[in-house]
Amino acid sequence: MQRTFPLLVLMCIALFGYAPFLIAGAPYESTMGLVQKIFYFHVPSAIAMFLSAFVCGIASAIFLFQRKPGADRVAVSAAELTVLLGLIVLVTGPLWARKAWGVWWQWDARLTSSLVMWLVFQAYLLLRRFGGPGSDKLSAAVALFGAALVPFVYWSVNMWRTLHPTTNVVPSLPPPMMGPFLWCMVAFLALYGVLLAVRVALEERRARLDTLYLALED
């Protein structure tokens, strides 16, 4: 892990460094023009957000049922990253929508459900911060509900008539667009790995600090 981390950071920098060139070189979309290029950050961050929500849910389940403190550290970190990635999705989306749909926001199934999921993970963080002792188990339960929402959010575009495009768009991307998209997807996954590792390291140091404080009091 110690040796792969700097490699991951370098890979991340390289991926994001070259991404703007790929995005600029990608063809324009016929109806949306320049603004469609927001796609190359909007969708990868959304997929990373779903991944993060799952990581948080699985780690929370492990923590709840097996009491492994390491799982709780991963859960907290993943929850913070879900909120961060959700912020990126919910800001880039409306900026794109303003030009593509003419409105900043629309209460359709996809947008509403992703906003709800984002709020659930924010509630997780609030509970961790202000809930006092025992809030680690309580927030783990919240994370399970949040993670259960992910499939609903993902398939909401296919189940209802929404303004938001369906999940059919990505698999049917023409090759000149698929290349930059996959590049940005890998870039965001690498970024997620880096951020998660760093954040978990912070939690581990905090845990170590707590142990030392306890030893000091003895």
Partner 1 sequence: MSFFSTALLVVRKDLLVESRSREVVYTALLFAMSCMLVFAFGLVKEGQVVTDAAAAILWITIAFAGTLALGRVFDRERQNETLRALLLAPASRASIYVGKFLGVFALLVMVELVVVPLVALMFGARLFRHPWLMIGLLAAGSIGYAAVGTLFAAMLARSRSRGALLPVLLYPITVPVIIGGVRGTAALLGPEADLAVARAWLMMLVSFDAVFVTLSLWTFEPAMTD
Partner 2 sequence: MTLKTIVRAVSLAFLLVVAAPAWAATQPPASQEGFVPVDQLPTDEEFPATPLVAAAYGIAWAAVLVYVWSVWRRLQRVDRELAEVARRLEVQRRSTGSPEAPR
Give the residues lining the site for partner 2 (CB under 8 A): 27-31, 33-39, 41-42, 45, 80, 84, 87-88, 91-92, 95-96, 98-99, 155, 157-162, 165-166, 168-169, 172-174, 176-177, 191, 195, 198-199, 201-202, 205-206, 208-209, 211-213, 215-216
Helix, strand or coil for residue 134? Answer: coil
Is 137 one of the binding residues for partner 1 (CB under 8 A)?
A: yes
Report the partner that residue 68 touches, choosing among partner 2, partner 1, none (CB closer than 5 to 8 A by kind).
none
User: Are 8 and 194 spatial neighbours (Cβ–Cβ below 8 Å)?
Assistant: yes
Q: Is 163 in the site for partner 1 (CB under 8 A)?
A: no
Residue of 13, 70, 87, 112 interacting with partner 1 (CB under 8 A): 112
Among 18, 21, 28, 65, binds partner 1 (CB under 8 A): 65
For residues 162 and 158, give the distance between their C-alpha atoms in angstroms, rounded to a whole number.
8
Distances, alpha carbon 86 to alpha carbons 7, 14, 42, 138, 186, in Å: 26, 24, 10, 22, 18
Query: Closest by alpha carbon to 119, among 90, 81, 83, 147?
Result: 83
Vertex 16 angle, CA 73 and 31, to 5°: 110
Positions touching partner 1 (CB under 8 A) are 64-65, 112-113, 116, 119-120, 122-123, 126-127, 130-135, 137-138, 140-142, 144-146, 148-149, 152
